[in-house]
Amino acid sequence: MKKITVRLLALVLSCVCSMSLLPAGMLVGSAAVKTPIKTKGTIYTEKEIATCRTNVKKYNWASATKNSYCASADKMIANGIDFYYLLMSSNEVWRSYYVSETNGCPNCGLDVYDYGNKYNIDFVNKPFKITCPACSMVFPTNDFESYYKSGLDEHYVFNSQKANKQYLKNVSYPEKGEYWGVDDGTGVVIGGTRYTVIGWYTNQAWSHIYGVLNTLKFAYLYSGEQKYATFGIAILSR
């Protein structure tokens, strides 16, 4: 846990220090930024940033690098900030580095380890779902996205006591039973074994955010376009 915390703090510092200031009065979360806290970068000097942007104009390799980062960052921005606020689930939802270290997949068991500890995830098109690469079964079997959203407050903080329990039913494979494969954020329990499906998804989602921030950071450094810094800082505010 200590290593993860240090890694996150280092990334946050890198991103914040690399990005320019938010426009005065812009909303980040619920607080308006009226006066800039920072007036210059800390990690990258103005000279280094100027050199980077000059290289973009002079060299094909630098221009190609800039275009690649900006194209990826534009896709991220197109997802909208709400998408990333949902992706960074609140602390009541568990995090786990395994679905089940000793039992593997809830359906096919240890067969999943023929593919490593890697379920398939599509954050954009299949939010809050993971697919076993061995048996192709999708978990959790309930509509966790709707369940999670129903328990959020205005600050995107989840409260399971307020969440709608109608979404805690197996709608994917009803032949297996009404509650088979259902996850409420604390795992799927089958035969006495707990499989932390959403916990694994959430852990992967937070790791994914590191890459998102790095992409936004470099898109801003190469291009100087404020939209990349603004979106990155909005994510950091979460």
Would residue 15 count as lying in a domain? yes
Q: What is the pTM of this model?
A: 0.81
Q: Are residues 176 and 132 in the same domain?
A: yes
Number of domains in the chain: 2
pLDDT reported for residue 161: 95
Mark whether 169 and 232 lie in a shared domain: no
- Residue 54: is it exposed, middle or buried by C-beta count within 10 angstroms (0-12/13-18/19+)? exposed
Instruction: List, for residues 68-86, the tens digit of each pLDDT value.
Output: 999 999 999 999 999 999 9
Residues 121 and 81 in one domain: no
Q: What is the pLDDT of residues 142-164, one digit of tens each?
A: 999 999 999 999 999 999 999 99
Range 189-204 burial, b when 16+ CB lie within 10 A, else e: bbeeebbbbbbbbbbb
DSSP 8-class letter at 187: -
What domain range is 84 assigned to? 2-88+222-237
Helix (H, G, I), strand (E, B) or coil at 48: helix
> Is residue 213, in this structure, part of any structural domain at all?
no
Q: Is the pLDDT of residue 182 over 50?
A: yes
pLDDT at 23 over 60: no
Q: What is the pLDDT of residues 27-61, one digit of tens each?
A: 444 455 567 777 777 889 999 999 999 999 999 99
Same-domain check for residues 230 and 196: no
Cα gap 181→14, rounded to integer Å: 40
Instruction: Calculate what percentage of the chain has a pLDDT beyond 70.
Output: 86
Provide the 3-class DSSP secondary structure of residue 41. Answer: coil
